[in-house]
Amino acid sequence: MDRTANLQRMADTVLDLLVIGGGITGAGIAWDASLRGMHVGVLEKNDFASGTSSRSTKLIHGGLRYLKQGEIILVREVGRERALLHSKVPHLVIPTPMLLPIFQGGTYGFWATSIGLYIYDLLAGVKRGERRTMLNREETIRMEPLIKTDGLKGAGYYYEYRTDDARLTIEILKTAVENGALIGNYAKVTGFVYEDGKCTGVKAEDQLTQKVFIIRAKKIVNAAGPWVDQVRKRDGVLNGKRLFLTKGVHLVFHHDRLPVRHAAYFDVPDGRMIFVIPRGDVTYVGTTDTAYSGCVDEPRTTIADRDYLISAVNQMFPSVNLTPEDVVSTWAGLRPLIYEDGKKPSELSRKDEIFLSRSGLITIAGGKLTGFRKMAEKVVNLVAAQLKNDEGIVFPDCSTVQAPISGGYLEGYEYEQWKQIVALEGKQRGIDDAAVSELLSLYGANVLKIYQLFDSIYDYDSKIRLLRAQILYSIQSEMTVTAVDYLVRRTGLLYFDRIRTEETARRVVEIMGDVLGWDVQEKQAQLAAVEAEIAVVKHLPATETARVP
Ligand code: FAD
């Protein structure tokens, strides 16, 4: 609800740091900078996390893939990051056992996998209960009866951590705001302001009112993910390194159509590896990795992407016989990778890099969701060093290792105890266990704030009261502006429960309309926008969306 006021407040001051982009990278930078006492602002052209940060495989990786590439330091770093994030937001970064099946003639044999996973456990500092075990053929089949038995030798059994990328981004932004950051979604940076050749501000257009703000800052960071080169272009010519975009898609199936018992990570015939991940009532599968030159704003899952993944799954789980009609939802995202001569998409490094332009614009490109905190530390260290050099101001070191994250303030309780308290409080209000567990997985400790809102609403039956409380919280505390924001990024409902999205869309629009004062026309427009998003996941095109020149 502070969106417009925030934009005005940014325009009325000179920020220490302005961040362009409200994905996980921009969110992490704002969090770190705000904790150091910097006056920081974030501008996001669409909704927070609407770019790649809601379209990933949603894993906080330990980095098996990096081990394969010999990137020892990276394995250690991401292993520690995932343990740290789990300790801060246990409802959002969840240990998930994973099978790594081994086949005759596959990329790695039984012993190589066993040694590889052992080294991985050591490097990543994996805790005892989650260290790898090796399963023989019979044990593997017992664990996963659907798995292909032809040539099966056994499997590695290890842990990855599952998350919700968009929710993680929102919680990090909320934490930054609690520490004084100013943020605004639907605020697009359309140009830069210069003094003596140095970039000292931006023009930002409010996408809802078309009002233009000039926002000044001592330092500006471009964290625009797949759009970083578009932003760099607005700052002058693109020189030096460039982005190389690759597209990755995921498909979602009802769990009873792909009833795997465990998540699995396996080879496909073209040498790539894909994940199959059960999550509540669905199982999702991904991802592809193809060079992308279509429209950056609208990556889509094409029919060819769908067929590639279905065929990979049918080959690994031969009895399931998935067909295109089984796909209930899908999402497509773009990896903002850094171009390297002569490398195939899947060979390009996932490392992050910082580019400095002549005007002083700092760009951070590449990287992973998993490494966002370290990326932010690197960027904010650079900003702090520049501010010290320019103005002699000294900011403290990074403190995100120690700092809590919104949704993870458990008031001294262990997470399991906390869950029981929340369940009990839910029961007292007539909220059933399934609803409590869904609320917990979305909001963690902030469920209590939703309960408070629930208590303040008297006129509705308990299900509608709860939906209303959730939407109110979302509008008041998560800058939810449209019904699509709520159904896609704040709850993930469109991806993980499309049918419920179709059933509740109208009610969500009605409730949001009551709170935000929408007239009939606005409500129709909001509903049409939701229907358009539903159509995107239901009707797949044969070709990519064309790039606007
Ligand atoms: P984005 O999330 O795209 O954010 C950039 C933001 O900038 C966007 O919201 C955009 O709207 C905004 N913006 C652009 N231009 C402007 C402008 N002019 N003004 C204002 N705002 C602007 N990583 C993992 O760790 N684990 C995984 O499991 C994983 N799986 C992946 C699977 C796929 C298919 C893909 C594509 C990536 C995956 N990644 C994974 C990588 C991870 O998702 C990305 O590294 C990360 O989300 C990038 O975040 P970002 O903030 O840099 O970019």
Compute the distance from residue 53 Cα to the ligand 1 centre, in Å: 4
How far CA 297 is from CA of 302, 327, 334, 370, 547, in Å, comes to 15, 23, 10, 23, 9
Measure the CA–CA gap between 384 and 401, rounded to whole angstroms.
Answer: 18
Q: How confident is the model at residue 318 (pLDDT cuts 50, 70, 90)?
A: very high
pLDDT digits (tens, 9 = 90+) for 166-220: 999 999 999 999 999 999 999 999 999 999 999 999 999 999 999 999 999 999 9
Q: Which among 358, 369, 289, 302 has a CA at the least distance from the CA of 330?
A: 302
One DSSP character per residue, 260-320 reads: -SSEEEEE-TTS-EEEEEEETTEEEEE---EE--S-TT-----HHHHHHHHHHHHHHSTTT
Task: Please tell me if the CB atom of residue 332 comes closer than 6 angstroms to any atom of ligand 1.
Answer: no
Compute the distance from residue 333 Cα to the ligand 1 centre, in Å: 8
Q: Which residues contact 73 (CB under 8 A, 6 or more apart)?
A: none
Task: Please tell me if the CB atom of residue 205 comes closer than 6 angstroms to any atom of ligand 1.
Answer: no
Q: Which amino acid residue places its CA nearest to atom 35 of ligand 1?
A: 56
3-class secondary-structure state, position 388: helix
Q: How confident is the model at residue 120 (pLDDT cuts 50, 70, 90)?
A: confident
**pLDDT for residue 99 is more than 90:** yes
**pLDDT for residue 279 is more than 70:** yes
Q: Which among 145, 139, 348, 333 has a CA at the least distance from the CA of 225?
A: 333
Compute the distance from residue 397 Cα to the ligand 1 centre, in Å: 26
**What integer pLDDT is reported at residue 72 of this predicted model?**
81
Q: Are 157 and 98 in contact (CB under 8 A)?
A: yes
Atom of ligand 1 nearest to the CA of 248: 34
Measure the CA–CA gap between 326 and 254, rounded to whole angstroms.
Answer: 8
Once rounded to an integer, what is the mean pLDDT over residues 12-25?
98
Measure the CA–CA gap between 228 and 233, rounded to whole angstroms.
Answer: 9
Task: Please tell me if the CB atom of residue 44 comes closer than 6 angstroms to any atom of ligand 1.
Answer: yes
pLDDT digits (tens, 9 = 90+) for 205-247: 999 999 999 999 999 999 999 999 999 999 987 777 889 999 9
Mutational test site, ligand 1, from 44, 56, 481, max ligand atoms within 8 Å of CB: 56
**What integer pLDDT is reported at residue 334 of this predicted model?**
97
Measure the CA–CA gap between 266 and 316, rounded to whole angstroms.
Answer: 8
pLDDT digits (tens, 9 = 90+) for 478-528: 999 999 999 999 999 999 999 999 999 999 999 999 999 999 999 999 999
DSSP bridge partners of 352: 366
Mutational test site, ligand 1, from 66, 186, 199, 227, max ligand atoms within 8 Å of CB: 227
Once rounded to an integer, what is the mean pLDDT over residues 252-259?
98
**What integer pLDDT is reported at residue 343 of this predicted model?**
72
